[in-house]
Amino acid sequence: MSEGVRAFRRRQGFLSPMETLAADRAILDAFDEALCVLESSGVLRTMNRAAERLTGYSERELRGRSFFSQLVARNGGDREPSRPTQARERLSLRIRRKDRTSIDVRCEIDPLGDDGGALIKLRPIDEGLSEADALDDIKEKLETIFGGMADGLVAIDEAGEILLFSKGAEKLFGYRAKEALGANVKLLMPSPYREAHDGYLAAYKKTGVKKIIGVGREVVGRRKNGTTFPMYLSIGEIRLKGKRYFVGVTHDLTRLKRAEEQLLTFSAAIEQSPIAVMIANKDGEIEYVNGRFATLTGYRPHELIGQNPRMLQSKQTESDQYRRLWESISAGVEWRGQIQDRRKDGEFYWASEIITPLRDAGGAITHYLAIQQDITEQKRDKEALLESEQRFRQIADMAGEWLWEQDKDGRYTYCSSAVEDVLGMRPEEVVGKTYLDLFAKEPASGAVVKSAGGRIASRRPFHHVVNHYRHKNGGDVYTESTGAPVFDEDCRLIKWRGVDHDMTARKKFEDALRVRNRAIESVPIGIAIWDARAPGVPNVYVNPALSRITGFAREELLGHSMHLLRGPETDPAAIEEIRNAIAHRKSCQVTVKFYRKDGVSFWDELLISPVANEAGRITHFVSVHADVSERRRIEESRHELEIARHIQLSLLPSAPLRTPHMEIAGICVPATHVGGDYFDYFENSGVIDIVIADVSGHSVGAALIMTEVRSTLRAETRRSTNATCGPAELLRDLNELLHEDLCASDLFITMFCCRFSPQTCMLQYANAGQNPPLLLRAGGLACTQLDADGLVLGVMRGVDFKEGNIQLAPGDRLLFHTDGITETQNRQRDFFGLERLSASFMQHRDLSPGDLIKATLADVRAFRGEAPASDDIAMVVAEVR
């Protein structure tokens, strides 16, 4: 590339015209026309060879002197020139040459940029090149200079006709020179440039105002095949024999634009990646972190930039690991591993990290790329799993029951140590055998073996299956076996897991008592005989009446104690009294709530009497059972309501919440002993969550479901705050977590939840079929409702909830309420309604949240008068500070 070409490129957009002409005279010397460059003061900065020949002076002799004072002998114009002006001028001058001769010239003065300098063109008046010759001469020079350039060169006249089309232009636009020459330059432009071009040329000829001449800019070009491409266009103007010509240099920006788009895409992908990314230079100084890395470490990006990654070290990771890490990456080898780092707040976290050296084109390491993924929860889960497995094995060894695992073919893969007590075999003697290998060769009952073996084919859980095994010493062993299959994610059977209980001794007693059982088979009250010497005092006999009372078949009761009938409301004191009677081998009489097989409770008036053998030792107990449920039902119902009321009241916040940004108060007024309404508010990780809900039903079951809702809700809000998900996502997760329990209890929940961020004063909210709250702006004249679409919780899975958000301001108030307020009726059966509630809210707006609730409830009671309350009332008021 010649020095003249480099100067011309600088002139096209990288240097000002004054800097280009002063820095490099080569491009001036390419023209035969005499050219001089003046400072704003009128002194000469540079001149080309043609000007030296015309004046007889060398550039060195005139540089720094006033051009007009030194050379002008006579001015043929209206103005006596001394320095350049801001406008183009044409003058007729007489120049004094160095040899004292004079020559008349035409002088064109073109201002250069904003620095006040000018370009002087001198042409002897008697010089007589024709316009065509002059134009050909210029074209020849331009072709010589730009013919080998990749950039395109296009010259046009004032009408837009193409006069010069370089080889670079042919490659760029797809036209051959002979196709483009003589055509209008609009040929190379897409719309809307094509339509505007002629108008621009006409306006310039009329006004002389330049828009793009002398100023490079990005435009769009059009190829012969109709495709368009981005290009950089620089346009210059030439005057020849009184006519204007325009020269444009075009540079294809397609590759640059594509690279810019890829760079933006890559940058966005890294910045928005859920994986933490950090880049450090070869000295270990951090130069870049993405948003996820800042979130993971708790530092802001500017706190990390320029620091060494060792600032994150927790001191819990072995120093040898860091040494091996640096040895690997310094050697240009990628390192992978797990490290424990420390966040800004001092909390430790585990990360799975990959560090890769980055190299330049020469292969030298310039930077290190580190990618981290937070595995803290996975580590905790793994440790908890290991601890759980250890605990399971310890419990299995201490339980005394034969716990086991089998593969899908029934081959033992694990046995607890209790197998030695049951079969006389050590666990290692059993592992590898099938359960059929341990059966007695001639079982006492074909049905026993069939029940145990049939479970593999059924792939269903089995319960209380009696197996007949052969003890290592040759004796018979009977066990009661319970197990369940374990499947993988594709519902393929992996293994079986279960427990066997030794019932050999009990079975002997059953055989001995079988004759006596017939005598009491027809008794209308429930009778059971317990084995006082067996662990757990199991039933060895039950009569049909007890099966009718409990709903359990005789086979389900035998081998089990009366603990089988215990349920969530069985009185522990009564159970303890029974235990004491058994322990002290004495009689007792209690009335206790038990549960039938179908889950329905009943009151059992239970009489227990010990039975002694011939030696006077207590060997059995006889229990007599009478169902007295009807007698206790009224008393139990009243007690249940009191319990439910206590549960419900314990769920509600005990006091208003006051923070620097918000004050919240709430109240719940049950219609009877207990209601289904619920509200909660709490501050968590810098944000405030508010919830109001209504559970269908008025019972202990509804109160217990609400307890589960409260626990799950608080856990989910804590998790969702860390994961930065909103109320809609929270409702979706609650619906998934609670769906099974709600369906099982035949209940559903309506709920409105919202989250207030004090930093942004933004309220996010979502609704699951609850009454939308009222918003009263500070100074507002009306209330508005905040609502979002959403189905009630517990109806179906996979529900998506719409999330809304609104900007709040100090003085804004929110009123959350259940339908117990708006559906309150007076004696005339009129509803209190939303309109009255809004009016009451606005009337008492200046009160504190707690006092506003009291005033609103007073309005509701005054409206209801003597009419009874028909539904629960819950209300929460929040004021933004």
CA pair distance 768, 792, nearest whole angstrom: 5
Q: Which of 599, 606, 607, 602 is nearest to 632 (CA)?
A: 602
Q: pLDDT (tens digit, 9 = 90+) per residue, 60-99?
A: 888 888 888 888 876 655 455 667 777 778 788 888 888 8
What confidence score (pLDDT) does residue 784 get? 95
Buried b / exposed e across 634-668, counting CB within 10 Å, b at 16+? eeeeeebbebbbebbeebbbeebbeeebbbbbbbb
pLDDT band at 14 (very low <50, low <70, confident <90, very high): very low
Q: pLDDT (tens digit, 9 = 90+) per residue, 350-392?
A: 888 888 888 887 888 888 888 888 888 888 888 777 777 677 6
What confidence score (pLDDT) does residue 672 get? 63
Complete edge-to-edge strand list for the sheet that includes strand 335-342: 286-289, 276-281, 365-374, 348-359, 335-342
Q: What percent of the chain has pLDDT over 90?
A: 21
pLDDT at 468 exceeding the cut of 60: yes
Question: What is residue 72's three-state secondary structure?
Answer: strand
Q: Which of 276, 285, 351 is nearest to 321 (CA)?
A: 351
Average of pLDDT values for 54-64? 89
pLDDT band at 7 (very low <50, low <70, confident <90, very high): very low
pLDDT at 873 exceeding the cut of 50: yes
**Residue type at 664?**
I
Count of alpha carbons within 13 angstroms of residue 756, beta-carbon side = 26
pLDDT at 741 exceeding the cut of 60: yes
Is the preceding omega at residue 192 within 30 degrees of 0, hence cis? yes
pLDDT band at 850 (very low <50, low <70, confident <90, very high): very high
pLDDT band at 453 (very low <50, low <70, confident <90, very high): low
pTM of the model: 0.34
pLDDT at 683 exceeding the cut of 70: yes
CA pair distance 434, 745, nearest whole angstrom: 41
Q: Out of 69-78, 145-154, 413-422, pick the least confident.
A: 69-78
For the residues of 466-524, what is the DSSP string, one character each?
EEEEE-TTS-EEEEEEEEEEEE-TTS-EEEEEEEEEE-HHHHHHHHHHHHHHGGGTT-S
